[in-house]
Chain A
Amino acid sequence: MSQNLFDSWRDQPLEEVLYQCRELYENTDFPTVRAWRDRGGKVLGHFQVYFPEEIVHAAGILPVKLRGGNIQPDKADSRFGSYLCSIIKTSLELALSDKIELDAFVTHPICDAARNLGAIWGRNYDYPCEILYLPQNPNSAASAEYLRGEYDRLQRMVERVAGAEINDEALRHSMAVFNRNRALMRELYEIKRQSPEKIAAEDAYALVALAGILPREEHNELLAYVLPMIRESAAKQEDRIRIVFEGAFCEQPPFDMVRSIGRSAYVVDDDFMIGLRWILSDVPRGRDPLRDLALSYIEDSSYSPVQHDLRKRKEEMLVRRVRAANADAVIVTAAKMCEPGLEEQVAYIHGLEREGIPFFVSEFEENQSSFSDLELQLETFMENLLFA
């Protein structure tokens, strides 16, 4: 019997592989996570955005990225007030409705709502529910050393959950697995930038997102299998606008929204599930793996509205992303009620205006099901660009 959690793509043609990936991504029962647990495995759920999954992986625990879902927060609703983003509610709903069972939960100080999630989760579950205090001052000379200590604290918690110590060799092995994974994802994004006609926006999105619910070795196998097929696909380039999608660093846009956008434009770069792609190149595997991980977070990482770094003014980073992808325009979105996302929109808009880069502003909610207005507005925007 196969030890893999997700096998239906194996030996299949490209279209079937992508179909299977979309199906798994949209399955809110998280069958791979359930199967892992059924086999006796432990699961640590980590909320968006970045999390050093290597530390959990090295303990033999499955790190699962909690990114909400297209479900109704029936049980979670009573635990929250109004005026909150959806992902906060649906992430807790996944646990309360037993769609995902955890052995530990970690959130981050990415925003005011997410930080509350640690306490909320802790009032509802007896297993460890913690905040990993990723530094919000990476510009301090002490930040890397501090983060190394914070990772050490996390490692000890993970060891308690696993019931075993994590040694440096296991950690370095996990870092190699994740380095390989990020390299494969970079390759996918290279294809998106160079030949966006070869992979639909929603397919690329699902392929990346599955990393959050699969053992990373399996995800590596999947990407290694599918990437050459995508490169070799015979899709023809069409006369479409090349856009960057910005605003999906935490709550994810509905799958159908990505599909809708992909029908009228090429999404040549984006921040979908950016936490899985946060580290930009291989993490060195030296004598002190925790320090290596900490340094990579601080010195070799992407950007998002929820990480403050004086070296990364977000609008400048976005312009760089646009230029690197040779994009024509930007869709600047934010999840409804997302304080940092909505605040960053102002900086993005003014920055793009200064650079003369066309943009389209919108909001979304993960549970949104109608996109007809959005499609119409987008088409008008695209047509204006195409026929300007």
Chain B
Amino acid sequence: MTNPTQAIVGRGNREGAALFRDWFSGLNEAAEEGRGAAYVFVMGSFNEILKSFDLPVVFPEINSLQTAVRRVAHEYLEEAEDHGYSPDICGYVKADIGTQLRGGAHPMGRIPKPSIAVVTNACNTYLKWAEAWERMYEMPMVTIDIPGTRYAGGETWSGDRHFENDRKYVETQIRELIKTCEEVTGKRFDIDKLREVMGHANGISRGWKSLLDLNKHRPSVFSALTDGTIYLGVANGLRGDERGAKYFADLVEEMEFKVANKIGTTTEEEWRLIFVGVPCYPIFRRFNELFTEWKGTFVHSTYLWFASGGSNVGFEYELADPIASLAEGSLISVRDSMDSMFHHDRVVESMLDGFHVDGVVYHPIKSCRTVSTGLADGRRALGERTGVQSLFIESDMMDRRVVSEAQMKNRADAFFEGLAVRRNQELVSQ
């Protein structure tokens, strides 16, 4: 007989992995049946609209990172490079191009072809990426252009004339997306179905925000780097799905149980860290071990903010006026995900006290200029303002050719030695 702890602890990871497999099985089924999918991105997927049309939703970013985790990314990258793509561009793009050139063959099953692509400008490479599909498949590419924050701290809100200018623009684009979905699927738009999907999305947003906050407790209840990535997959893939909403309600329950019973992660927690950047998927587990071996746990990461499309703000849609609310929510959430990439120093600073942070690990990568361009300067600014210690290690999220594990280990070891010296000095001075 299982005791309550055995039943609840680890449930999120188990069920998350199962849901993830189910999702890919569904995609494989769609591909085998020749059904087209909606290709979308994590920062502003518009799952809400697409699911209301029963379109299978494909996240090529997730497909690509899976090739790296499964250590076959290099095959896909090389195939895209043979097709003309430079070694110096985003590895996600190239792994996906490789997948397309293979007719959708992927380690997790067959990926259906796109019948529509929906793309935001949260990452400019999204636009170039979708343009490549547009040329390959001659299918509709719908851009939802979401203006971001114009300067640090310059967010505007409902009622402000500039916010309303942005909101109207986003709302019109959503209405244009609905029209295109009607054309692609041959179905009439059903606003009640949209309300239902948005209600489930509300559940995920609510759960996501609560989940992240629960890691303020000592010991932290999940690893923001490893466990967090599993949760993130569900948050994106099952956004607007009833199973996704239930998953997050259960996950929050699990983490609250862990908090109440002071159950942490499998790592004894000595150092609480924040991760800034995109994970090192080619050596995903090993990268984490570089820190857990020193009893370092990742209590938060900017990745869980921006790669959730800004779900961290916990925006809940007003279902009485769903399209207007979707516009407002998308604007606020996607804008926030952009802020957590461009103004990461402010984001990290806001986490330092509440999450009792000892150090910050920056992981700029070759593949992603969106996330990586400003990390060095943000680190400089954050260090000057707060004095927090940090580590800066460059590699990649996809391309093992630029991942040097030994070099990273040396840097991580030195970082922890530095943290220990500083803690001792502080103790002595007290």
| A-to-B contact residues, CB < 8 Å | 78-84, 88, 109-113, 115-120, 122-124, 128-133, 135-137, 139-143, 145-146, 149-150, 153, 305-306, 308, 310, 313, 334, 336-337, 339-340, 342-347, 349-350
**Given contacts A83-B366, A141-B172, A339-B89, is CB(A112)–CB(B125) below 8 Å?**
yes
Stretch from B64-72, B304-312, B368-376 that touches the partner: B368-376
Contacts of A82 in B (CB 8 A): 364, 366, 394
Is A133 touching B151 in the complex (CB atoms < 8 A)? Answer: no
Complex Cα gap A142–B146 (Å): 12
Known contacts A83-B372, A123-B378: A139-B132 contact under CB 8 Å: no
Q: Give the Cβ gap from A151 to chain B, nearest Cβ, in Å.
A: 10
B21 beta carbon closer than 8 Å to chain A: no
CB of B33 closer than 8 Å to a CB of A: no
A-B contact pairs, 25 of them (CB 8 A): A79-B377, A80-B373, A83-B88, A83-B365, A83-B394, A111-B124, A112-B368, A113-B369, A116-B341, A116-B370, A130-B154, A135-B145, A140-B173, A142-B172, A145-B168, A146-B166, A146-B168, A306-B124, A313-B135, A340-B124, A340-B128, A343-B85, A343-B86, A343-B129, A350-B84
Which chain A residue has the least Cβ–Cβ distance from B119? A308
Are B132 and A131 closer than 8 Å at their CB atoms?
A: no
Contact A342 B88 (CB under 8 A): yes
> Which residues of chain B have C-beta atoms less than 8 A from A337's C-beta?
88
A115 to B148, CA, bound (A): 10
**In the complex, B246 has a CB within 8 A of chain A:** no
Chain B residues, CB < 8 A from A141 = 172, 176
The 8 A CB mask of B144-173 against A (1 = contact, 0 = none) is 110111111010000001100110110011
Q: From known contacts A146-B166, A340-B128, infer whether A124 and B377 are also in contact, taking CB-CB under 8 Å.
A: yes
Q: Is A84 within 8 A of B373, CB to CB? A: yes
Closest chain B residue, CB of each to CB of A83: B366
A3 to chain B, nearest CB (A): 34
Contact A122 to B124, CB < 8 A, known contacts A84-B373, A343-B132 = no
CB nearest neighbor in A for B165:
A149
Q: How far is the CA of A120 from the CA of B373 in the complex (A)?
A: 9
B372 touches A81 (CB 8 A): yes
**Pair B373/A88 contact, Cβ less than 8 Å:** yes
Nearest B residue (CB) for A336: B88
**Other contacts beyond A119-B342, A346-B132, A347-B132: 18, CB < 8 A:** A81-B392, A81-B394, A82-B394, A83-B394, A109-B124, A120-B377, A122-B152, A130-B150, A131-B150, A133-B148, A137-B145, A140-B145, A143-B169, A145-B169, A153-B162, A308-B127, A339-B369, A343-B86
